[in-house]
Each structure stands twice: as structure tokens, then as C-alpha cells.
Chain A
Amino acid sequence: MDNVHKQVLEVKNLSANFYTSRGLIRAADNINFNVGQSECLAIIGESGAGKSVTALSLLRLVPHPGRIEEGEINLEGRDLLQLNPKEMRRVRGEDLALVFQDSLSTFNPVRTIGSHICETITAHRKLSSAEARDMARCKLAEMGLPAERSFRSFPFQLSGGMRQRAALAMAMSLHPRVLIADEATTSLDVTLQAQILHYLKKHLQECCMSLLFITHDLAAAAAVADRVAVMYAGRIVESGPVREVFRQPLHPYTSALLRSHPSFCPGRLEPINGSPPDLADLSPGCAFSPRCLKGREICRNKVPSLQELWPEQQAACHFHQARKNDLREAAVT
């Protein structure tokens, strides 16, 4: 795979806040990432880390009472946050498509699978309904579904796996530049998950599509992603090439996450101490500091910024940043 990807999606300083009765919740706080052409970036983290809010922010669909506060979302050079609603509507589904975790709630229960796919196609393309229907059947068949039958089925008539593939067929129907898969394979069995991941990887190359793969499943992320970004409490705490991050995690949260997963820790699993923080009541310092074994005074008072510690690998951790500075000073003297 070529190392230099043409950047398709660039997210800069994106912040989305929720104004709740319990106070301000920074669900996505100063998010920065890039996704190149034919590249897959996995965003991993626990539930409530802000992964889904980030995904919805990209489409400008953050639900009430949330709001995108600032930032830039550049899709092939266009800042999505500057588009008017009509232009934004054209981007959704056409350039940026989203697949959700729960395919049962992706589809309107009283309409057929086929009508969903057709309306998506005709919302963006000037096609006759017969042409749209052919296209939809073609896409369903591509996902290994019985085209005619699944086209005419209502969502509740399909199994979970079939429905998820139909949802994927719908998202792929317009050949989006970027596909955002928000826990799209999480509810599937392992075999089906492997099939879908394989299909996605194949598509990235063939269709020059980019994939933003949002998951809490580390194994799936390792299988499909080129690079990963680890989110914790609304912030990206570590990012880098998937092999480097999984082999040599810099952020204590990433290493703790890997040590708690059977695929990455052959020995005895270690659960992460404590529980995920309450986003409405974050400490002024590093959000992971209360659970961190390396926690120091500075961690509790100052939010660490994301810094490049290894080539292409960034982490937001005072401990590692201090160690790197020590090493640099040692090298100078």
C-alpha cells in the first residue's frame, strides 16, 4: 500500500458540546484527524468516549441539545461547516455515508428495504424509478443478498446480519467518498463480520473510498484499519499507524485497553481500574489521570496536548512527553 495518501477528509479542532441540565458536556473536544484516499482510520474507545458524536458531527447531525462549537471539516477541500443546509444535504449520502450499529433502527419499519435504497439514490441522482430499482437490486446482490427478495422485504423480515448488509448496500449505493461505519459490524457474528470487513477493505482500493471505522472492538479495528485514533472522554488521546499503536502503545489508556483484550494480551487479562469519567464533571487535568497508574501531579491539573512522540505516532500524555524531553536533552548534552 502506498504510504502517501491523498487526504480526503481533514478534521481540524472540531468540538461539539451538549448543553444539558447537568451542565456543559464536551462530547467531542478539539478533535483532529485526517483520512486519506483508500485509507481506513479506526476510531476506538469505550462507550461514551465521543466516537458517535464525532461521526454525527461530520454530517452535521449532532442531535439536540448538542451543537458543533468550532472547527473545520474539510472534505476534498470543502469545509462542510461553511455549507448551507441545501449543500450539506447533498453531501450526506452522496459524499459522506453513514452506517449505524443497529440496522433495525436504520430502516423505517413500515417501508421496504428497496424503497429506502431507491429514495436514497433518487435523492441525489436524476434517475427514473426503474433505473433506481435496478441499481438498488444490484447493490443488494453485491452484498450477497438475494436481490429481489430482500428488495421487497420489510426490515423486520430480514435477519440482523442480512439487514446490516442491506444497510451497507444502501450506504454504498452512491459510491461515497467517505464511509463512516459507526459500530457497523459490532452486532454481527464473527464470520459475517469477517466477510464484511473483507468486502470493505476490497472496496477501499477498488473504489478509492475512505473508511472511518468507529468501533470499540479492537480486533476488528486491527483487521481493517491502516491507522487508529484512540478516544477517551471526548478527546483523541493517541493516534498513529495501527501496527505501531497496537504493538507499542504510548498512552497509558491505550496500553490498558490492549491489556484488557484477549486478542492482544495472551496472558492474564487486566481490567482497567475505575470507570469511565462523567463527561459533565471532568477533572481539570488529563481525563484518564484518576485511572492512570502513571498519574502525577501535572496530570491532575493540566490537560496534555496531542504531540508527535514517534514518527506519525501521537499521544496526549504528560508522562511520555516528559520522558521524550528527557531523552532529547540527554541526546543534546
Chain B
Amino acid sequence: MQVMLKYLIRRLLTLVPVLLGVTFITFILMDLAPGDPAEILLTRRDIEVTPENLQLAREALGVDGPLPLRYANWLLDVLQGNLGTSFTTGEPVSAEILGRLPATAELAAGGLLVMFLLAFPLGTVAALLRGTVGDHIGRLTALVGASIPSFYLGLLLITYIAVPMEGIPVMGKDEGLISLLLPSVTLGFGLAATYARLLRANLLEVLQLDYIRSARSRGLREAVIIGRHAFRNALIPVVTLLGITMGHLLGGTVVVERIFAWPGVGRLAVEAIFDRNYPVIQGYVLLMGLAFVCMNLVIDLSYRLLDPRVRMEEGEGKVS
């Protein structure tokens, strides 16, 4: 347990340089990007754009100082728990992001669920039926799934499922769980293709290993061999990819959120970028960094559950 705690603390400490790095780089990138938030704000409020007005607006938004100073100020605020206020709405950034986060989390969970339901049976069946017609059909489906852009799949689903079958919502999330259906399927289908292919390849690799042959020579049932011996070992690389995917999903899936008018963080971020809404962008980047690092930590911890070799590395030694 001591080992585990030390490990956790060490991993959490690595968060600091990562977050400093990503936020600083975003700060520089936004400064380099064309477009002036002050000008955008003035135009939007129908105020005449004059040098004086611009200067006033810049001071009001806090975008007039030199870059290192602005970053230092932002950092100080963040350390006190203040992410700033949105240029466009005047709301606190933390409230804006936190308000959108549940919707994104719901969509992420829905997408992952669809992915699991599709990818695991498909990948397993394809591996077991290797080289047969079933395998080829599965692989072709996976190829199509991986190639089809999500905006197109979303539109197809709306046209051929939501429109003929009235009652399936296609906009927003106001109708409860059912409104999650189409966005989740759109998101999950594309993911499922990648995962099914990965799982199939890993399963095939594991099924070639000597200990599977040894398990067969001991007269175990094929179901036991696959479920108990092959699957768990084939899952290890899948879990790695899952960490990256979950990081992405928590950052919001811009395209899917846009098609289904889903009020998640992805849409918030895109709007903020169009408006040069610096505090919201910074807040979003901070959240993304946090999400990625935390997801990687969760994944590393789950390796320990899946693979005792990782678990024991720093713990107990060899039995002798």
C-alpha cells in the first residue's frame, strides 16, 4: 500500500510541469494567431472600432500587457482558483466549463458503451473465425467504420433512422437518455472499428503463444482458454489506447457535438476559439491537460490489475 501511495504521489507531481507546459504553449499560440479579441468584442457590440476604443477594450479584457506578464497574472489567478471570466458572456470560466462538462461526460460514456458493445464481440468473433467469410465481413465493416467521417455517419443516422422513426431526438439533450442515442452511436461506431481491429490483432497474437498451446494440451475448454487466458492478455494494449481515447472524449467531440447540437465542452471550445475568448480557451486547455494526465494515471493503475508483472516490479521480489 505504501508503494502504491508513493507511486500515486510521484505521478501526481508530474502533473505540474505538464500543465505549465501546455498552458504556456497555448498562451503563445493564441498570441501568434491572427485576430484581436478587443476588435471582435467591439464589432459584436456595434461599437465603432477606433484606436481609442480598442485600447480601452484591451485594457478591460486584460490583453494589453507583455505576454510573460499576462501569463504570470493568469497563473496567479488560477492558483487562487480563479480561471477568469469569459469575454463574451462575462460569466466565470470555471462555471461555463463545469456547466458543459456533464453533457460531455454523458456523451463520452454513451460512446464508450456503444464501442464496447460493438468492438468486443466483433473483434473476438473475427479473431476466432480468422480467415473465414465472417472474418472478412467483420474486417470490411471495421474498415468502413474507421474510414467513414463522423459528420457523414451522423447525417446518415439522422436521415435514415431518426427521420423515418419519429421520436428519436436529433438536437440537444433535453429529452433524457434517448437523446443520447444517436450521438453515442455516431461516436461509438467510429471508435468500435479501431478497437475491434486492435482486439482482433491482439487476440490472434496471443492465441499463437505457447501457453495457449499448453492450455489446450491440458484439455481445457476452448471457452476457458479464450476467456481466461487469451482475452485478459490481449486486453493490455487495448487499455493503452483506451486511455488516449478517454482523454479525447473528455475534451469533447467537436464534430459530433456540433451535428447533434450537444451542449458539451467541445462546442464551447470551438466557439471560444472563433471569438478569441482567451480565458475560456485557457481554461479548456487546462482541463484537457488534466484529463489526459489523469486518464493515463488510471490506465497505468489498471495495468497493475491486469498484469502482475507490473504490480510486482516495485513491490515484492522473487520467491526463492
A interface with B by C-beta (< 8 Å): 56, 59, 61, 63, 89-94, 97-98, 100, 102, 105-111, 116, 119-120, 123-124, 146, 149-150, 153-154, 156-159, 162, 170
Known: A61-B213, A157-B319. A92 touches B218 (CB 8 A): yes
User: CA–CA, A111 to B224, complex, Å?
Assistant: 13
Contact of A119 among B211, B228, B233, B319 (CB under 8 A): B228
Give the A-B pair count, Cβ closer than 8 A: 88
Instruction: Tell whether B136 is near chain A: CB-to-CB under 8 Å.
Output: no
B312 contacts partner chain A, Cβ-Cβ < 8 Å: yes
Q: Which of B211, B306, B307 has the most CB of A within 10 A?
A: B211
Q: Which 3 A-B pairs have the closest CB atoms?
A: A105-B210, A93-B219, A92-B219
Residues of B contacting A: mostly: helix
Contacts of A159 in B (CB 8 A): 318, 320
Additional 12 contacts, C-beta under 8 A, given A92-B218, A154-B308: A89-B221, A92-B216, A93-B219, A97-B218, A98-B214, A106-B211, A109-B211, A109-B233, A110-B308, A110-B309, A119-B218, A159-B318
Interface positions, chain B 180-230, Cβ under 8 Å from A, are 209-211, 213-221, 224, 228-229
Assess whether B217 is in contact with A98, with CB atoms less than 8 Å apart: yes
Chain B residues near A56 (CB-CB < 8 A): 213
Contacts of A123 in B (CB 8 A): 218-221, 224
Pair B319/A149 contact, Cβ less than 8 Å: yes
* Residues of A close to B320: CB separation below 8 A: 159
Known: A108-B229, A110-B233, A111-B229. A157 touches B210 (CB 8 A): no
By size class, the interface of chain B is 20 to 34
Q: Indicate if the CB atoms of A108 and B233 lie closer than 8 Å.
A: yes
Q: Does B232 contact A (CB under 8 A)?
A: yes
Nearest residue (CB) in B for A113 is: B319
Q: With both chains docked as a complex, state the minimum distance between the C-beta of B190 and any C-beta of chain A, in angstroms.
A: 30
* Contact between chains at A108 and B219 (CB < 8 Å): no
Nearest residue (CB) in B for A150 is: B319
| Residues of the A chain whose Cβ atoms lie less than 8 Å from the Cβ of B232 | 110
Taking a contact as CB atoms under 8 Å apart, the answer to whether B217 and A93 are in contact is: yes
Q: Are B219 and A89 in contact (CB under 8 A)?
A: yes
Bound-state Cα–Cα, A59 to B229, Å: 20
For A60, the closest partner residue in chain B by CB is B216
Contact of A102 with B216 in the complex, beta carbons under 8 Å? no
- The CA of A77 and the CA of B209, in the complex, are separated in Å by 33
Q: Which residue of A100, A105, A110, A154 contacts B306 across the interface (Cβ within 8 Å)? A: A110
Bitwise interface map of B from 294 to 320 toward A, beta carbon under 8 Å scored 1, else 0: 000000000000111100100010111
**B215:A108 contact, CB within 8 angstroms:** yes
What chain A residues lie within 8 Å of B309 (beta carbons)?
109-110, 154, 156
